[in-house]
Amino acid sequence: MPLEIEETAQPLGAEVKGLDPTVTLNEEDLRRLKEAFDRRGVLVFRDLDIDQGFQAQLSEQLIGVEPGRGGSGESEVRESYISNRKAGAAAPYGRLQFHSDTMWAKEPLQVLSLYGLDVGAPVAPTTFASTIFAWKALSDDLRSRVSDLKAVHSAGQHKQFEDDDLIAAVPERPKSTTTPIGLRHPRTDETMLYVCEQMTHEILNVSPEESQELLESLFGYLYNPENLFHHDWRNHDLVIWDNLAVQHARPNVAQDGPARTLRKFVSPLEGIAMEERAFNYSPVPAGGS
């Protein structure tokens, strides 16, 4: 049976039905999955009984890594979890603002995936925002104001608020990078609106007031409800997303709330040390010690 790819009503996200993890993907199905991944940014597969090796291989295939040639060989993939139950897991509680993992790096990660291992109800969704559609949606005036400007992105969390439930800690010497605000996607060549609420500190060569005003205007497009896709987790859901074409966020997770254990895959092919990737998942509350 051919794969069915159902697009959401939003400009991002699609659900894939009919994938059989016990059968090798044929060329035509893989081509269709890659095309949907590049066009929609997020693919959801439900009711898949899969191990970490399958999750890793499919995630890498979507960015063009051939099976067996990537870093998804079991010995190289370190188990990693987002969980309010599992000891030592990342992001055990709290809210995460919109971000792309390792956005502060020169070559940030291209693909991420999560798999529902132990999901109670109701649990916090993961929400995605399209950086490509946000760029397209900008008013002509705003696009022309920012098209030659650059922004600084740093590891950790930019803003801290008292009594907030945000969890990303600020590293002592945060790594940072400077990029154009309208940045080309390395695989699709689409222009992305490359700023985020968690890590973008400032826009260069404008006053602090103008930087703030511009960022708020840009966030208004990025996080417009029409530019968002919410995924409500169930056990055995696999969600694979393009870490640059979409940003992700989640509302507050309570440590004593319903179980929320998701197995995470980050490609070891991409040259960023594991400990550095973990920056924005520190279990230390923002502002805490």
Binding site for Fe ion (CB under 5 A): 101
Q: In terms of C-beta density within 10 A (0-12 exposed, 13-18 middle, 19 or more buried), how is residue 258 classed?
A: middle
Minimum CB separation of residue 138 from Fe ion in Å reads: 24
Nearest to 249 by CA among 124, 80, 151, 75: 124
Count of C-beta atoms within a 10 Å radius of residue 26 = 11
Which is closer to Fe ion, CB of 143 or CB of 260? 260
Minimum CB separation of residue 264 from Fe ion in Å reads: 9
Distance CA 118, CA 235 (A): 6
Secondary structure element (H or E) that encloses residue 203, with its range: strand 200-203
68 Cβ neighbours under 8 A, 6+ residues apart: none
Minimum CB separation of residue 20 from Fe ion in Å reads: 29
Which is closer to Fe ion, CB of 38 or CB of 101? 101
Bridge partner list, 269? none
Which is closer to Fe ion, CB of 100 or CB of 211? 100
Minimum CB separation of residue 99 from Fe ion in Å reads: 6
Which is closer to Fe ion, CB of 14 or CB of 90? 90
Which is closer to Fe ion, CB of 5 or CB of 119? 119
Q: Are strands 126-130 and 228-231 parallel, antiparallel or unpaired?
A: antiparallel
Give me the phi and psi of 271, to 5 degrees please. -75, 55
Which is closer to Fe ion, CB of 101 or CB of 237? 101
Minimum CB separation of residue 249 from Fe ion in Å reads: 8
